[in-house]
Amino acid sequence: MQKIQKIYTTLMNSYGPQGWWPLTPKGSTKTIHHQGPPVTDTHRFEIMLGAILTQNTAWTNVEKALEQLHTNKLVSPNQLLQTNKNKLAKLIRSAGYYNQKAERLKIISNFIKDHTIKTLLSLNKDILRNILLEIKGIGPETADSILLYAFEKPSFVIDTYTKRIFSRIGICEKNIAYDDLQKMFEQNLNKNLTTYQEYHALIVELAKQHCKTKPICNNCPIQRMCEKNV
């Protein structure tokens, strides 16, 4: 299906590289979009925290929670594990479901402490994906975000925006299963890390600018390729 590739090219030409995942530079508490891979283990860990914090909430709410974690020097598995769960929940309150998410941040911290980022990086993508999916509170979207951005392994991320946009375009059904839509992307794109990273980020940008709950089709960059099944 050449359309999937064509949409990627069109979105890239319209919006340009997105530089995902947004990360916090050393000495700062605010995330910025950056180019290039996460270079430190702290960055990789921050991406894992962000992938959990963003469950069922907008990124702007996650930014505030991450800022609190940085201000309190908690972007480290050891520091997080030593922090009282109620205190942690208060710090990440802006991200919603804060008690549940505080527990999940502790679970992922334990996981990283037990396995180490270096060991996990050396694993094959499918093996690592299965390991991540066994962790309480990590579903396919969170696992794939962690794989793609923290461990730089090409696993295409499907989210609500992806299903919304590609069903409106006419490429899939509204209620397509996660794995089926992921397969569709992976079979129709070159297995390239940057392409997967950028494509997901561009989909999010399209959803924010045009393909909202109520779409603004006027000037949408992929309007001519879309069946507008709204």
Counting contacts by CB under 6 A, is residue 23 touching ligand SF4?
Answer: no
Counting contacts by CB under 6 A, is residue 228 touching ligand SF4?
Answer: yes
Triad 141, 184, 139: Cα angle to 5°: 15
Which of 51/206 has CB closer to ligand SF4? 206
The 8 Å CB, 24+ separation contacts for 104-107 are 104/52, 104/136, 104/137, 104/138, 105/49, 105/52, 105/53, 105/80, 106/80, 106/81, 107/135, 107/136, 107/137
Other CB atoms within a 10 A radius of the CB of residue 138 amount to 22
Which of 2/84 has CB closer to ligand SF4? 2
Distance between CA atoms of residues 112 and 132, nearest Å: 11
Interaction residues for ligand SF4, span 114-133 (CB under 6 A): none
Rg (CA), the chain: 18
Counting contacts by CB under 6 A, is residue 230 touching ligand SF4?
Answer: yes
Asked if residues 62 and 54 have their Cβ atoms less than 8 Å apart, the reply is yes
**Among 66, 95, 157, 220, which residue sits at the site for ligand SF4 (rule: CB under 6 A)?**
220
Distance of closest approach, residue 145 Cβ to ligand SF4, in angstroms: 22
Which of 133/230 has CB closer to ligand SF4? 230
**Among 48, 147, 157, 165, which residue sits at the site for ligand SF4 (rule: CB under 6 A)?**
165
Chain length of the chain:
230
Stretch that binds ligand SF4, among 25-33, 125-133, 183-191, 211-219 (CB under 6 A): 211-219
User: SS3 of 196, please?
Assistant: helix
User: SS3 of 152, please?
Assistant: coil
For residue 63, CA distances in Å to 68, 131, 165, 190, 230 come to: 9, 27, 25, 32, 31
Distance of closest approach, residue 226 Cβ to ligand SF4, in angstroms: 3
Which of 169/181 has CB closer to ligand SF4? 169
Counting contacts by CB under 6 A, is residue 223 touching ligand SF4?
Answer: yes
Upper half-sphere CA count for residue 36 (Cβ side, 13 Å): 4
**Among 43, 163, 168, 200, which residue sits at the site for ligand SF4 (rule: CB under 6 A)?**
168
Interaction residues for ligand SF4, span 71-100 (CB under 6 A): none
Counting contacts by CB under 6 A, is residue 210 touching ligand SF4?
Answer: yes
Chain contacts with ligand SF4 (rule: CB under 6 A): 165, 168-169, 210-211, 215, 217, 220, 222-223, 226, 228, 230
